[in-house]
Amino acid sequence: MGMRPHTVLALGGVAILAVAATGCSPDGTPANTVVESKMFDFSGDSLTVKSDSADLQLVAADVKGVRVTRQVSGTKVGGEIESGWKLEGGVLTLSLDCTGLSVNCGAKYTVKVPRDVAMTAENGKGLVEATGFTADFSAKAGDMRLSDLSGPHLDLEGRDGTIEGDRISARSVTVASRNGDNELNFVSAPDLVDVRSQDGDVRLGLPEATYAVDTAAKKGDITVDVMKDDTSDHAVRIHTRNGDIVIGKREAP
């Protein structure tokens, strides 16, 4: 059974569309799911998105303002499932709160933002996905899946999860990872890649060029399969405490 539209409300000129899933829909949306969308007025050049446990999907798009779609699903017995969203002072806060004796819930927020907005994403326990941004991008989260990021600077802080980046063309990339593997594939030679990892493997796929390479691993193997030149303008520094380091040619698209 598919989605069933419920109500469209006009609140202060902002449209909210609510849809409920009462069974398994053709697009795979789980049962007991409520889908809502809201457009926020926004004209700034930078945006911070904060969440504690809901998954975040950040999409650069041809939009005016910030469009948010949330999917909240779950079951409850003697409990409450509450979600919230607000945009104040350039900070978009997206929340999910599950309380009660027997509550099982989850949420995913899809956020569409103008392409040239500088983004900061902070997610305590959930996933951050991002694609298509052309300005600076930074994220602090567990798992990250990133693609087609071409802004000047990419700054990532991983906690307990994997970081995956594909078709990256940022000039400067810094990664600090606590516990989890890191894999980044570049479509253009970066000026700087600096990765510091405590526990986890690090894999870089780089275009053909010469690189000034600095690697160190206390416990782990190191494999470097790119042309090295200590005077190169393209610097790669990878230091790990416990994990392998692999630097090679980028994977074919």
Task: Please tell me the total count of domains within the chain.
Answer: 1
* pLDDT the model gives residue 82: 67
- pLDDT at residue 176 tops 90: yes
- pLDDT at residue 118 tops 80: yes
33 belongs to a structural domain: no
How far is C-alpha 102 from the chain's CA centre? Answer: 30
Please compute the mean of the pLDDT values over residues 143-164 and round it to a whole number: 95
- What ranges in the chain are assigned the alpha helix state H? none
**With 0-12 CB in 10 A as exposed, 13-18 as middle and 19+ as buried, what is 10?**
exposed
Report whether 206 contacts 186 (CB < 8 A): yes
> Which amino acid would we find at residue 247?
I
Confidence of residue 24 (pLDDT cuts 50, 70, 90): very low
Confidence of residue 159 (pLDDT cuts 50, 70, 90): confident
Domain that holds residue 123: 42-249
Tens digits of per-residue pLDDT, 183-220? 999 999 999 999 999 999 999 999 999 999 999 999 99
Confidence of residue 18 (pLDDT cuts 50, 70, 90): very low
77 belongs to a structural domain: yes
Confidence of residue 107 (pLDDT cuts 50, 70, 90): confident
* pLDDT the model gives residue 31: 54
* pLDDT the model gives residue 16: 40
Neighbouring residues of 139: CB distance < 8 A, sequence distance ≥ 6: 119, 120, 121, 122, 123, 128, 130, 146, 155, 156, 157
56 belongs to a structural domain: yes
Q: What percent of the chain has pLDDT over 70?
A: 79
User: In whole angstroms, how far apart are CA 15 and each of 68, 69, 190, 211, 250?
Assistant: 11, 12, 42, 51, 44
Confidence of residue 142 (pLDDT cuts 50, 70, 90): confident
179 belongs to a structural domain: yes
Please compute the mean of the pLDDT values over residues 117-144 and round it to a whole number: 94
1 belongs to a structural domain: no
- Cβ neighbours, 10 Å, residue 214: 12
Q: What percent of the chain has pLDDT over 90?
A: 68
Tens digits of per-residue pLDDT, 90-100? 999 998 776 65
Pick the residue with more confidence: 179 or 29?
179
Pick the residue with more confidence: 44 or 74?
44
14 belongs to a structural domain: no
CATH for 104: 2.160.20.120
